[in-house]
Structure 1
């Protein structure tokens, strides 16, 4: 019976279960979307708190009123029409759900821009969404002004979330919302939407290149909701969400809040020092995490009230087993539910049993209905290993392998908006039989003797730091612009005690030039978000390349940043000095001892 229960729970998070559970025929006919369920919540529990943010509380009815005003402000501006996509460029705040709900109410979708991106990356992300309207938070006005000439040249309508705006070519938006009617909008305005319509565009680096826009359908939003529903969350719970709403993990919490009919506590940005105080303040029972968040919490000084809270469940991904153990030992008997999936992926897994460190479990029936496999991968060549017949080879139990998932009608891979080339790169063909097609997750996983699955590492030209995917090619492009740099090879290196990998750039200098550390610092500070700035720089005489002129990274990654073993000059980014300073053995030892935070 336990095995059957496990099988059922695994099936619950698959697309097939979505088909059965949500009666697709009826829903396709009635276009039953998350926004429809939200409106039902407004009727049945109008005065229940929906969003709590700082000292403010907004009920479901408040959310309906504000989103109605946002929808009418968009329509009355003349810039937004049915079916359009509007780019949202703002941090976590109540206006985020108001704007998204308002857009869906009028048959539109939103592109969620990472509020850390700037310049070239900002323009790239905006363009690939197909949006012609941008709405930005007041605190991001400088970032918008930097790219404003390009936006205006493309005839983009730009709004800033203020009551007044004196920037030529930019309009204020909050004053328009305040003046707009809060009356309900006709369902006819969204009659163009189906479960397959894009509800949002969420960006991912995948494993290579610049960020790519993934069209998240309204059907997939139901899948987001299921992940939390399967962990036993109810309408009585209060969920704490300090993850960015532009991430699928953060948006998951918001959607699940509507589906469960519960209260969502929003935090503008994660704060390790304020986390538990917030949980106590808002009577939080469920918290969302990424592995880095939990590690930060465990690294905080111990307090007598560490276990004084009502949190019973933590849901997220990327949590290492050792940090998991420290977390529950220190903060109490909190159930941890780790899940695995990708924004653009066609398969999700949930560690519903609480096996420490696992992301799910390998079962025959699950695998039969939605085929996936762990295959041998050549890290140096950056490609799957194939046998004499040209087919991929599954790894043995206990051996790390590349996770690939079969693309089926019941498990589709829609790819990246406006980027057929990158979409095709994520497909592996002729994996086990001629003509089959699999989605390449870019992740290395391992299955143990008890069939539990564990995340091991990422492949390709992306590494993960502070919960963000960093595209090495993008960082290399920025570093290489500095006058003293001829070329840059960017990669991620492990730092003991830290989750993920931190950025490092091996560079060689232009003929006759010395390393201009200050100029390089100002270059990365201006054009890269903090998590993407290389913390270490290694000066090389020449670059090692493969026979096809690709930079060799495996050896560099293994060598890391130890000045005791590397003869090349090494530098470390110093935020206080606003410079790259020499990385000495003493500094290296202080990093390992945790005395220097990076």
Structure 2
């Protein structure tokens, strides 16, 4: 098969393998397409099924701990009873600030069993951004792990929690019976939960598939993070679509997950797949390229969850005779670049790459069901690829005000039709939801979700990812909102104006953040590292601009709009004498003035970002 083409012959070649997994396909299609939002098919029920069917099999592996499905069910039941005792009811929400560890999954399941949604806070957030994310949901309680207590304390006076004892503390212990001592003002959640019964809670108003299970945060296209509600339906779709259709997960499978569980790829896709097989999820707090394969062997992992950057980091490790000494045969995730796809599979002996395309808030998803190379797969959802304004996420409308599809094989803005079957859950903010909807696209009254991403068809309705457009870019596996970063910079009091965008660095995935700024003309010299310290305090590390161009003026159009596309194309180049350019080099604690020699090293890939 050609690198960039999927043909009917390729599909036919994959059919024998697909037919061998027919029972998984049939069940997967049922769960992926189930429509009844009133059905009592929920995250809690999925865990209970596995506890009944595979009580002694491991559900979670973490460090030296192994928690069975029966133990996870009992643990989550105790959490559910505690939440009920605190007066929480179906429709309420709690915020969760925990790193990857078993307590996070148990909390999500326990809350789900009583209809309480968990807002999955990004553990990199702090300061204004964290406070904003918490207040978006108006949660009743905040669950904080000891590893992140400083983050929570920094916003304690700025968050609004609707409970008499709203702060819950979880000690970072190695056993289920290690409670630790809670800081002043916090309830020791583990201790309180241990005193509750392990029986399954019974509700007079049962939880159903259409109820909200989690809130996942996305940078969206403008401003501070947005909260996207995820119903139990999202878990059910992942259960059927990824766990059964894509991966055919079984009880003996172990999925190794180093992706943060506040992300949809980890929580919905990876864990949803594990739930489908009655399999185990092996957790690591943070990805480590050097420890990756040792962990895979330690947990006997058969599958792992990835983003493209993770795969590149693994490839950058020196080749070893141990590269194929493991049982890993499947992988699921998104962002694996065509340039390293085959190299990764061949070096590490991977058979199945279940590449996917989806978003936390969106109504459309693609899955590489037929295991083709260099594609996000296909979708049964109605979608179109349309013409768009270069450098933006705005579609082009013709003289009649309608959208126009691109020619086959050409890059186009992906939009998904919104209808009763393919609903758009959107964000908690109605205005933000409306901004993501394109109305009267092809006919009066129709509605489409604007993904903001550019893809192209490479044959047999299989798409390939091209780029993320508009006011977001992706770096270190995270979405970065340019407007959010601009607002933080504006709040520094050190600049007159700033424009943030993403730039490509050779031999890296995604785009690194860059800002072009004009310093305040207050008679004082501009201190670039004073700005750096401020950014470190108010932004997660992945959102701190890697490059800074300091200039006297930023060029604008006749209508006073920034020439963002031109500035972005210039990148960190020193070819034009438009001020000094600085870089936050790996391992450094501030910005370094770029020289032609440094730029050459970055362009050649000698500087590893």
Q: If the length of structure 1 is used for normalisation, what is the TM-score?
A: 0.92
Deviation of 1:395 (Å): 0.7
Q: Quick one: distance in 2 between partners of 1:198 and 1:548?
A: 43
Q: What residue number does 1:510 align with?
A: 520
* Secondary structure at 2:159 match in 1: helix
* Secondary structure at 1:159 match in 2: strand
Q: Is the 8 A contact 2:80 2:201 kept in 1?
A: no
Q: Is the 8 A contact 1:207 1:459 kept in 2?
A: no
1:592 and 2:606 matched: no
Residue of structure 2 aligned with 1:223, choices 206, 212, 237: 237
Q: Quick one: distance in 2 between partners of 1:351 and 1:85?
A: 34
In structure 2, do the counterparts of structure 1 residues 20 and 262 end up closer, same or farther at CA, with 3 Å as the change threshold?
closer
1:118 and 2:110 matched: no
* Secondary structure at 1:531 match in 2: helix
Can you list the C-alpha shifts for 1:325-372, whole angstroms capped at 9, x where unaligned? 22012112432121111111111111223332111248xxx4xxx421
User: For residues 211-290 of structure 1, what are the structure 2 equivalents within 5 Å?
Assistant: 211-225=225-239, 226-231=241-246, 232-251=248-267, 252-290=269-307
User: For residues 366-381 of structure 1, what are the structure 2 equivalents within 5 Å?
Assistant: 366=380, 370-380=381-391
Q: Is the 8 A contact 1:129 1:213 kept in 2?
A: yes
In structure 2, do the counterparts of structure 1 residues 36 and 174 end up closer, same or farther at CA, with 3 Å as the change threshold?
same
Q: If the length of structure 2 is used for normalisation, what is the TM-score?
A: 0.90
Can you list the C-alpha shifts for 1:470-522, whole angstroms capped at 9, x where unaligned? 01111112223334322211100000111110000000011134221121111
* Secondary structure at 2:135 match in 1: helix
Q: Quick one: distance in 2 between partners of 1:238 and 1:20?
A: 22
Name the Cα RMSD after superposition.
Answer: 2.6
User: For residues 110-259 of structure 1, what are the structure 2 equivalents within 5 Å?
Assistant: 110-151=118-159, 157-162=166-171, 163=179, 167-178=183-194, 180-188=195-203, 191-225=205-239, 226-231=241-246, 232-251=248-267, 252-259=269-276
Q: What residue number does 2:543 align with?
A: 532
Q: What residue number does 2:4 align with?
A: none
Q: Is the 8 A contact 2:251 2:278 kept in 1?
A: yes
Q: Quick one: distance in 1 between partners of 2:232 and 2:160?
A: 31
Q: Is the 8 A contact 1:572 1:583 kept in 2?
A: yes
Q: What residue number does 2:43 align with?
A: 34
Deviation of 1:579 (Å): 2.0
* Secondary structure at 1:492 match in 2: strand
Instruction: In structure 1, list runs of 5 or more residues that go unmatched.
Output: none
In structure 2, do the counterparts of structure 1 residues 164 and 560 end up closer, same or farther at CA, with 3 Å as the change threshold?
same
Q: Quick one: distance in 1 between partners of 2:590 and 2:517?
A: 16
Q: Quick one: distance in 2 between partners of 1:89 and 1:296?
A: 27
Q: Quick one: distance in 2 between partners of 1:393 and 1:420?
A: 27
Q: Quick one: distance in 2 between partners of 1:460 and 1:213?
A: 19
Instruction: In structure 2, list runs of 5 or more residues that go unmatched.
Output: 1-7, 172-178
In structure 2, do the counterparts of structure 1 residues 308 and 566 end up closer, same or farther at CA, with 3 Å as the change threshold?
farther
In structure 2, do the counterparts of structure 1 residues 547 and 110 end up closer, same or farther at CA, with 3 Å as the change threshold?
farther
Q: Is the 8 A contact 1:38 1:259 kept in 2?
A: no
Can you list the C-alpha shifts for 1:129-165, whole angstroms capped at 9, x where unaligned? 2312110111111111111112368767111213455
Q: Is the 8 A contact 2:586 2:607 kept in 1?
A: no
In structure 2, do the counterparts of structure 1 residues 118 and 499 end up closer, same or farther at CA, with 3 Å as the change threshold?
same
Q: What residue number does 1:412 align with?
A: 423
Q: Quick one: distance in 2 between partners of 1:333 and 1:183?
A: 41
Deviation of 1:264 (Å): 1.1
* Secondary structure at 1:174 match in 2: helix
Between 536-545 and 167-176, the greater mean CA deviation after superposition: 167-176
1:353 and 2:378 matched: no
Deviation of 1:34 (Å): 2.7
In structure 2, do the counterparts of structure 1 residues 166 and 312 end up closer, same or farther at CA, with 3 Å as the change threshold?
closer
In structure 2, do the counterparts of structure 1 residues 446 and 154 end up closer, same or farther at CA, with 3 Å as the change threshold?
same
Can you list the C-alpha shifts for 1:144-202, whole angstroms capped at 9, x where unaligned? 11111123687671112134556443333222223x1342133326x342111001111
Q: Quick one: distance in 1 between partners of 2:41 and 2:31?
A: 13
Can you list the C-alpha shifts for 1:91-137, whole angstroms capped at 9, x where unaligned? 10000111111112222111111111111111111111231211011
Q: Is the 8 A contact 2:414 2:454 kept in 1?
A: yes
Q: Is the 8 A contact 1:484 1:513 kept in 2?
A: no
Q: Quick one: distance in 1 between partners of 2:281 and 2:459?
A: 39
